[in-house]
Every structure is written in structure tokens, then in C-alpha cells.
Amino acid sequence: MAALTLGAIGVVYGDIGTSPLYTVKEVFAPHTGVPLDTAHIIGAVSTIFWALMLVVTLKYVILILRADNRGEGGGLALTALATAAVKNNPRLKRVLLLLGVFGATLFYGDSVITPAISVLGAVEGLQVIAPGLAPLVLPASVLVLLGLFLVQRLGTGRVGQFFGPVIILWFLVLGATGVWHIAQQPAILAALDPRSAWFFVTHRGWQLLATLGAIVLALTGAEALYADMGHFGKRPIQLAWTTLVLPCLALNYMGQGALLIADPSAIENPFFRLFPASWLVPAVALATLAAIIASQAVISGAYSMTKQAIQLGFLPRLTIHYTSPGEAGQIYLPAVNWLLLAAVIAAVLHFGSSSALASAYGIAVTLTMLITTFLTYFVVRHAWKLPRPLALGASAFFLVLDGFLVAGCAVKFFEGGWFPLALGLMLFVGMSTWARGRELLVESIRRDGLSLETFIDSLDPTSVNRCARTAVYAVADPSTVPQALLHNLKHNQVLHERNILLTLRFRDVPWVPEAERVNVQSLSQGFWRVTLHFGFMDVPDVPRALTMTAAHGLAVPAMETTFFLSRESVVPTPGSGMARWREVLFEGMNRNASGVVEFFRLPDNAVVELGTRVQI
């Protein structure tokens, strides 16, 4: 429990732990219109504190963490739970599926903005050390980000050992500096009274939305609590939050409030002004380390989300490197890494400061929170069978709360809020196009294909040459003859002694027990149907899974087996399948998908690929 809790502190809470770098400064930014007087300082800090209590503690730590999909959390895991709960309503199931996928795409927006704003917010401490260092902030931030993304290929296993202790030190520093300033201005403790938050919120008028758009910065990272549940478990995440993270965050926010009461001019950078001048250099160094760790959490999350999306059929295959022999969850996707790096550096150079990035931050996170609440209702009502009034009442409360947070961020749409939404929308179009294109591809193969049973019945055992080996044909539709088999028979005039039609099914659960991994169906004349089942968190190691067929009467000797693959060349054609531009997009995605060999861990020296053209 102690080790898991330490890991949870290091990985899960890095994002929300760096929010004090910029949140209070943004609450009192000129566009919010919040006066910098004692009453409003107490009210603002109180609103931050009670937002942490309601959204993070009550909603996520206490309630949402209960909605685990066989121990896994996150947007796609919750989507799988919600769609399974309404499986008898196909139309609603499809709506929830698309909504969940859209929520997942918004995570990528967070994966771009979190490294940018966290690193910029930390490096901006150079300006507090010496104003003349301001021109170095952007180049130093870019160098830090370049280094962060360049080391991703090495894996996070060894680096992760240092994450927990560094972040614990970070939180202890947050709490200690907060206590020091609270002791000098104890009036700030009035922020613990929820009436201070209520007064602040109800007296802001229409300016409340702009203020909420800044306060929501204190909540970014809340989704990580749920997304990383499978890595550490519910209890360590809850324990870390209640014993260390929440108290230290609350103390630091109140400490910044106490500092502003004593010295309103500290609003230029209230976080770094908490420290004595002699501590600024180590404070900036520690903040930069914390920002790197916060960025690492969302980068790793982007890798995991991409892998899940690939295995659920929403993205084409990409090259995946497993960076740890013992931890399947530690992966590296080169394509995702370099695309993220390009997007992060573009965001840093375009926005130029953490304050400017704050306008882009929040809307993707709050929309994801809103979608999470909506999907959770169907789990609570239909899967857990809780009474409708209770499910509706709890969901309505959090939907209203999330709705206000979304509205607060939406007012910043033209100042930068468009950025994560545009990124998420592009990804959603791509993911939905890929899923629909694969459906059309399978339909086309099924429509134009030759029935397997008919083909087997038509074979003349005396006229077909047989090779004393095993052929494995990977197929999407096991009821039709694989094109690769027809090509082999046509050009080489030979069939293998054992012909296995292999189909892979990815279920909407994280893990499939090995007892349920393999289904084997024996046909006639040396033909077999084999179906392998994987979860969206499983490693699809096909050769290893095929060794399990021996228990079902089918031996697949590794040294006597050849894998025949059909590589489809998609031909877009006019028709009712998809819009022409989507068909062209799908054709390009299909052409650039990584090979089946690497993804399914097939042996390089035992694979034959044969091409075929398919119209959609």
C-alpha cells in the first residue's frame, strides 16, 4: 500500500499539483474583474478550496473511482461500462459510444496544453529571480520540453522511481510555504467557511463566468485520478489525496491569499513571491522538476489512450514499443510522441506565456468532466441499479456544477479556448472515419468474398497439392475465404496441411482472462477457425496465444508455421458509404498504418504479405 501510494503521488497528482503555479494569478487577472481586496481574496481562495472539495474529493475521489471496469478507469473504460449498461438500446449505445470517444479526444488537448503551461509557469520563475532573464523563458521552456520528449523512448520505469519522492517534496514545500504566510495573516482562514465562497460566487454577476474560467485551473488533473486507477488501485489514490495532496494544496492556496492580503503587489507572481529571495533559485528548479513530472503523466496517458483506441477500432495500427519487460503498461509510441512534441512547442511559441495559455486551458478538461458525469449516470442507474431519483439527483447536481465550469471556460473561446477543441474535433473526425471505414471494408470483403464452407466442400483432396506445414490466415470475417489463401492457391497451386483462419476480437474490457483467450472450431479438410480474445489493455501477442490452442486439439508448432496476411489497398468509390473526402481520408490512414507484424508480435521470418484491392 505504501509503495502504491507513493507511485500515485508521483504520477497521478503531478498535474493538479502544479496548478498553484498559475491559478491564483489568473483569478485576479484584469479580465476577471475581481478586486484585489481582503474580502475578495478570501472569497476567491474559499471558492478554490470548495471547488477542490466538491469536484475532486466528492465527485472523483469518493464517487467516480467506484466506476471501475475490472480495475481500470478513464474515459474509454467508462464508455465501455456505460454502453454495456444500455446494450438493449442500440441507438443510445451508439450515442454514448461516440460521446465517450469525443471525450477521449479532448484528453489529447490536455496532453498538449499541460506540458506547455506547466513548464512555462515554472520557468517564468526566472523573471522573479531577475527581470533581465525574461527573454530566456521561451527558449529555456522549449529546451526543457525537447529534453522531456527525447527521453521518452527510454521508458519511464527508472525515471518513475524518482517521481514519487520529488512530488512528495514538492507538496511538502507547498504546504510549508502556505503555513508560513497563513501564520502572518490568519484572517485568510475564513476561506474555510463555505459562506465566503457562496458570497464570492453570488456577487460576481456575469463576471462570474470569467472568474470560474480561472478557478477551474485548480481542478485540472482531476481526470487523472480516474484514468490512472488501473495502475495503482482506488485505495492508494484516495489515501494519497486525503493525507497529503489536498491538505498541501489547500495550505498553499491560502498562503498565496495571505500573501496578497499583506502585499497586493505580489500578484505579479504570487506563487514564487511566497519564497524568500534566497530560496528562489531552488524553488524554480523544484517547480521545473514538478512541471516535467506533471507533463510526463499526461504524455504517458496519451500513449495508453492511443493504444486503447487502436484496439477498440478507432485508430489505425501504430508502432508500439514496450519499454519494460515486466510492465505491459509502459509503452512508447514514436508517432504520438513526435506529434505531441510538435503541438506542444507550437503552443508554447504561439501563446508565449502561462497567462496566455490559461485561456486555452480548461475547456477541454471541463468538457471531459461533463461527459464523465453524463456517462456515469447510465452506469449508476442501469448497471448498479440505484433508484432513479437518487441517480438523477446526484447526476443533476454535478452536471450543473460541470456546466458552470464549462461556461466559465467557454467565454475564453476566442482567446485560445478554440485550440484544444479544434484539436479534439480533428481527432474525433479521424477516429470516427477510421471506425466507419473499417466497417465498410469488412462489409465489402463479406459481400465480394467466397463462402468458406462452399470453398471447403468444393475442394478435391486428390487434386490439391498439400504442404506439410501450418498456414495461419489473419481475417476480419472468418465466414469468407481469405484473399491471401486464394492468391496462394492460384499462384503456388498448393494448400497447407493445416489452414487456420485467425480472427482477433478486442472486447470492451481492459483484460481478458487467459481461460477465455482462445476459441477453436475444427472444420473439414484441414481447416480450423481460431478466435483470439484480448482486452483493450492486453498485449496482443498472437504467437504466444496460439500456443494455447494445443489444449483444444490444435498444435501450432512455431518452426513449421507461416503467417499469411492480406494487405488491403482501399479504393474510394462514389456511393452511400461515406462522403468522398472521408473515404480519401480513410484510404490515407489505411495506407500509412503500421504493419500487422509489429503490432501482433509476429515473427519477421515467418510472414508472407499479399496485396488485394478493396472498394468502399
Least confident of 141-150, 175-184, 237-246, 350-359: 350-359
CATH number of the CATH domain containing 239: 1.20.1740.10
Instruction: Give a yes or no: residue 523 inside a domain.
Output: yes
d(CA 336, CA 329) in angstroms, rounded, equals 16
Identify whether residues 480 and 397 lie together within a single domain.
Answer: no
Identify whether residues 364 and 509 lie together within a single domain.
Answer: no
d(CA 73, CA 50) in angstroms, rounded, equals 25
Q: In residues, how long is the chain? A: 616
pLDDT in tens, 12-29: 888 889 899 989 999 998
d(CA 403, CA 410) in angstroms, rounded, equals 10
DSSP per position, 146-161: HHHHHGGGG-SHHHHH
Identify whether residues 50 and 197 lie together within a single domain.
Answer: yes
d(CA 320, CA 591) in angstroms, rounded, equals 18
Instruction: Give a yes or no: residue 479 inside a domain.
Output: yes
Identify whether residues 138 and 71 lie together within a single domain.
Answer: yes
**Cβ–Cβ under 8 Å, residues 364 and 416:** no
For 529, list phi and psi in degrees, rounded to 5. Answer: -105, 125
Indicate whether 196 pLDDT > 70. yes
User: What pLDDT does residue 511 have?
Assistant: 82
d(CA 209, CA 212) in angstroms, rounded, equals 5
The three grid cell numbers given for residue 493, joined into one nine-digit string: 497451386
pLDDT in tens, 143-193: 999 988 888 887 655 555 667 788 899 999 999 999 999 999 999 999 999
**Cβ–Cβ under 8 Å, residues 230 and 73:** yes
Identify whether residues 410 and 473 lie together within a single domain.
Answer: no
**Cβ–Cβ under 8 Å, residues 11 and 244:** no
Alpha helix ranges (H) inside 271-333 = 280-311
Sheet holding 495-506, edge to edge: 518-522, 527-534, 495-506, 466-474, 561-571, 607-615
Phi-psi region of 526 (alpha: psi -120 to 50; beta: other; left: phi over 0): left
Instruction: Give a yes or no: residue 525 inside a domain.
Output: yes
Identify whether residues 395 and 498 lie together within a single domain.
Answer: no
Instruction: Give a yes or no: residue 286 inside a domain.
Output: yes
Indicate whether 199 pLDDT > 60. yes
Instruction: Give a yes or no: residue 32 inside a domain.
Output: yes
**Cβ–Cβ under 8 Å, residues 182 and 258:** yes
d(CA 375, CA 80) in angstroms, rounded, equals 10
Residue after which a domain boundary falls, among 381, 405, 435: 435
pLDDT bin (cut points 50, 70, 90) of residue 481 is confident
User: What pLDDT does residue 494 have?
Assistant: 83
Residue after which a domain boundary falls, among 435, 469, 501: 435
Instruction: Give a yes or no: residue 214 inside a domain.
Output: yes
User: What pLDDT does residue 465 have?
Assistant: 83
Identify whether residues 231 and 302 lie together within a single domain.
Answer: yes
User: What pLDDT does residue 356 have?
Assistant: 84
Identify whether residues 418 and 487 lie together within a single domain.
Answer: no
The three grid cell numbers given for residue 75, joined into one nine-digit string: 474515459
d(CA 592, CA 339) in angstroms, rounded, equals 15
Instruction: Determine the Cα angle at 89 with ends 88 and 92, to 5°.
Output: 145
Q: What is residue 499's three-state secondary structure?
A: strand
Question: Pick from 239, 275, 283, 241: which is nearest to 256 by CA?
Answer: 275
d(CA 280, CA 272) in angstroms, rounded, equals 7
User: What pLDDT does residue 299 have?
Assistant: 83
User: What pLDDT does residue 507 have?
Assistant: 83
User: What pLDDT does residue 37 have?
Assistant: 93
Range of the domain at 290: 2-435
Question: Pick from 397, 393, 399, 342: which is nearest to 367 by CA?
Answer: 399
The three grid cell numbers given for residue 534, joined into one nine-digit string: 484480448
User: What pLDDT does residue 159 have?
Assistant: 55
Q: What is residue 133's three-state secondary structure?
A: helix
**pTM (2 d.p.):** 0.80
Identify whether residues 418 and 493 lie together within a single domain.
Answer: no
Least confident of 112-116, 183-187, 566-570, 583-587: 566-570
Instruction: Give a yes or no: residue 442 inside a domain.
Output: no
Question: Pick from 455, 481, 538: which is nearest to 504 by CA?
Answer: 538
Query: Which is higher by pLDDT, 507 or 215?
Result: 215
Q: How many domains does the chain have?
A: 2
For 463, list phi and psi in degrees, rounded to 5. Answer: -110, 0
Identify whether residues 427 and 544 lie together within a single domain.
Answer: no
Identify whether residues 423 and 478 lie together within a single domain.
Answer: no
Identify whether residues 482 and 419 lie together within a single domain.
Answer: no
Instruction: Give a yes or no: residue 109 inside a domain.
Output: yes
Least confident of 194-203, 312-321, 345-354, 364-373: 312-321
**Quick one: average pLDDT of 370-396?**
90
pLDDT in tens, 248-286: 999 999 999 999 999 999 998 999 999 998 898 999 999
Contacts of 187 (CB under 8 A, 6+ apart): 38, 42, 258, 261
The type of residue at 223 is E
Residue after which a domain boundary falls, among 435, 465, 483: 435
